[in-house]
Amino acid sequence: MSTDTPGSKATPPEETRPDAPSSAVPEAPAAAPTDPAAVTSGELDDAGEVVEGEAVGLAELAESPAPALEDQARGDLVATRQGLFGNTDTGDTSGFRGLQVSVVIDVPTERPYGGWFDEVVDILAEVLEDNGIAYGAAVRKVVVDRGELTLEIAREHLVTVCRLLRDEQDLRFDLSLGVSGVHYPEDAGRELHAVYHLRSITNGPRLLRLEVAVPDADPHVPSTTNVYPVNDWHERETWDFFGIIFDGHPGLARIAMPDDWVGHPQRKDYPLGGIPVEYKGATVPPADQRRSYR
C-alpha cells in the first residue's frame, strides 16, 4: 500500500523540527514517541495521508492485522476499526467487513502555521528559553487543525507554560475556559488527555488550546489553579469523570458524582449501567447490551 501520493512523503528529518517529540523529554513516560502497539506490523506506511475518521482502505481481509502507524510523531492512532456497525455475529452480505479504518488525530503541523499562530508560538518559545526551558522540552507538538491552534505540552512544564501564556505581555492569554478530559483507550501510553482552552482578551479574540497527554497507569497532571483559579472546579470535574489526578489542587474532591462513587464514568470502558426494562410480558435489556454500537 505504498502509493505515491503527496501525503505519503517520507518522514521529515527530525532535526529540522523543533517540536519533534523525539529526545527532548527523557523523564516523562508519556513522552514515548514511538508507540509500541503502533509500530508492530508496519502494514501501513503511508498513514500520513489519513485524516480523522476517514477510511484507510477497502478490501482488506478480516485476517490481516490492523493498520498501524510507523511513527507516533505523525499523529496519534487512537482507534483501528474493522467492518461496520459492530456486526460480528452474522454473515457478511454487505462487503463492508473488509473495511479497515484507522483514526489518526493530531498530526503535527509544519510551519508556517498561519495567522497569529506563528507569532504566538515564537513568543512562547522565546520566553520559554528565557526561563531556561528548551522549547522542544515543553511543547511536544503543534497542531493546526480546522483553523485552531493546539499545543501539546509536557506535563512537567504545564504550569510554567500557563503562567507565561498568561503573564507575557505579547501573549496575555488571560482567560481560561476550563479543563476538559479525553480518554483514548487505544492510544497506548497516552490514554488520558487534559485539554485547556485559553482565550486572550487583551490581544484580540485569540483562542489557544493546550493538551497534556498522560498514561492511564500514571494519570498525574500538575494543577493549574495557581495560574487560573477558575480551573479549580474544572479540574475537580475532570478528576471526577476521567480520573486524572491534578497534583497540587487545593481540594480534589468529586464534584458531579456522589462522594463515595467508584470509578470514573466518562471513560470509554465505563459501563453505561442500565437495567433491564420490564414491559408487560417482556423484558428488554438496557440499550448498551442490545447490540454493539460504534
Partner 1 sequence: MGRGIEEQAPGFALGAIGDIVGLARKASMWPVTMGLACCAIEMMATGTPRFDISRFGMEVFRASPRHADLMIVSGRLSQKMAPIVRQVYDQMSEPKWVLSMGACASSGGMFNNYAIVQGVDHVVPVDIYLPGCPPRPEMLLNAILELHEQVKKAPLGARRDEIARRVEAAALAATPTHAQKGLLA
Under the rule (CB under 8 A), what is the footprint of partner 1? 256-258, 261, 265, 271-275, 277-283, 286-287
* Sign of the dihedral defined by the CA atoms of residues 155, 36, 265, 52, in that order: positive
d(CA 58, CA 43): 14
Among residues 81 and 267, whose Cβ is nearest to partner 1? 267
Element (H, E) at 239: helix 231-242
Among residues 55 and 277, whose Cβ is nearest to partner 1? 277
Going by C-alpha positions, the residue among 224, 165, 167, 168 that lies closest to residue 198 is 165
Burial classification of residue 244, based on how many CB atoms lie within 10 Å of its CB (0-12 exposed, 13-18 middle, 19 or more buried): buried
Closest CB 284 distance from partner 1, rounded Å: 9
Among residues 152 and 240, whose Cβ is nearest to partner 1? 240
DSSP 8-state code for residue 177: E
Closest CB 235 distance from partner 1, rounded Å: 19
Among residues 113 and 270, whose Cβ is nearest to partner 1? 270
Among residues 130 and 269, whose Cβ is nearest to partner 1? 269
Closest CB 273 distance from partner 1, rounded Å: 3
Closest CB 245 distance from partner 1, rounded Å: 21
Going by C-alpha positions, the residue among 214, 26, 24 that lies closest to residue 134 is 24
What are the grid coordinates assigned to 194, written together? 487534559
Going by C-alpha positions, the residue among 288, 46, 49, 66 that lies closest to residue 186 is 66
Closest CB 195 distance from partner 1, rounded Å: 23
